[in-house]
Amino acid sequence: MKVYIKTYGCQMNERDSDAMAALLREKGHEIVSAEEEADALIFNTCSVREAAERKAKGKIGYMKKLKARKPELIIGVAGCMAQRLGDALLEELPHLDFVLGTGQLHTLLEQLEKVRAKHLRFAETEPSPDVLTGMSGHYSGTWHGEIAITRGCNRFCSYCIVPYVRGREISRSQEDVLAEARRLVDSGARELLLLGQNVAAYGLGGDIRPPADDHSPFADLLDELDRLPGLLRIRYTSPYVSYFNRRLIRTLAQAEKVCHNIHLPLQSGSDRILAAMNRQYTRDSYLAKAAELRAAIPDLTFSTDVIVGFPGETDEDFRLTREVMNEMDYAQSFIFKYSPRPGAKSAQMADSVPEEVKEERNQILLADLAARVRKRLAAMNGETVEVLVEGISPRTPARWTGRTGTNLMIHFEPDAAVRPGTLRKVKITQTNPVSLFGKLVD
């Protein structure tokens, strides 16, 4: 069977699609790059933001024309939107064959066979812990590999539906994660990205209380991965600020392969809004933890997520957010305009901030970010940095790209020895407001 997989949303969804492709490939099925070639279409969807759902539904709806030309075509929807809507999707999209929730992704082969053999239409959305180990395959062996170490979330932030569509937080065993890491490194991976809704809570049994200062299963895992022969770099996303205890910070500072970049979601700089979001930290505690991390790792860079226009956000709340963002000097920020998600607690609150105000605040923060990035990059001119080579630049084929351990991308002219997945030294010779350019010096 020829299968086309389309992914919407976050890195976790991309990883799930990669694992689904691996499941199919292991059983002799072919992954194709065009809908017209396929015998089955799988849409792996996101529900975190309304725009992602709307885009996915539009695309799936358009596939009705293709199915009219190919009546035997199987169309399935997987992921968060599938989990949230279930049977309702079958009613809304009558050309849809099956719906596969986030806890049933590992049963994809079984569901495809059920449709093909019995011509059934159905939704499978029951949660199953087997999805953790059942989704550990990888479709492509390259210099970069991704490992989901947790699934689900127990935080229940008021704006978020992840706990409802991905379930409660569960962690894989350390032995299982290390076995997957070894397989990836043996197949050529030189960088691993650890994934989870809250990776720093790995191994804590779903307890949302900050762990004792000397206890961090995530730090234990990083220690083991840091000793893995052949591995050059370890990245992870996303952690929750409260879990950075003394044990974890010490590990991050001492590890040779863990990158010095942390994606640390802020969401708001106002204690009042943070409380309404159920974030369970304050502006001061966030800043204090960031300062503790920077003291231990002087070259550390941060990125973040921020929501503007949360219900009840005033000009003063926004000012406080802007103030924290500038104080943190984030290297990257993902800034979103609030939109209510059905099922999330905040959807019961009045969406009180006008759209034009949300847009204005969004643009102010984006302009601040652009100014910070421009200043940061300009200050690096003349520096020599180590990069992990990623490959040919998609925009300029004459150049290659590499990434620093602090997650900055650099474009450079290759030499005859350049290879993806190798560490090289690059001297920065030119900067512009958004990019770094340099030349190989080793």
- What does the DSSP 8-state code read for residue 267? B
C-alpha 343/C-alpha 11 separation (Å) is 23
pLDDT at 361: 98
pLDDT tens track for 52-99: 899 999 999 999 999 999 999 999 999 999 999 999 999 999 999 999
HSE-up of 265 (CA within 13 Å, CB side)?
Answer: 20
pLDDT at 49: 81
Residues of the chain with pLDDT under 70: 139-141
Note whether 269 and 231 are within 8 A (CB): no
Structural domains of the chain, with CATH: 2-124 (3.40.50.12160), 141-258 (3.30.750.210), 260-379 (3.30.750.200), 384-440 (2.40.50.140)
User: Phi/psi of residue 178, each to 5°?
Assistant: -65, -35
Burial of 184 (0-12, 13-18, 19+ CB in 10 A): buried
pLDDT at 140: 64
Lookup: tokens for 327: 């104080």
pLDDT tens track for 379-402: 999 999 999 999 999 889 999 999
Lookup: tokens for 391: 């490959």
Q: How far is CA 205 from CA 22, 132, 372, in A?
A: 29, 15, 39
Question: Where does 323-414 show beta strands of DSSP type E?
Answer: 332-337, 384-392, 400-404, 409-413
C-alpha 217/C-alpha 171 separation (Å) is 10
Lookup: tokens for 60: 């799936």
C-alpha 98/C-alpha 90 separation (Å) is 7
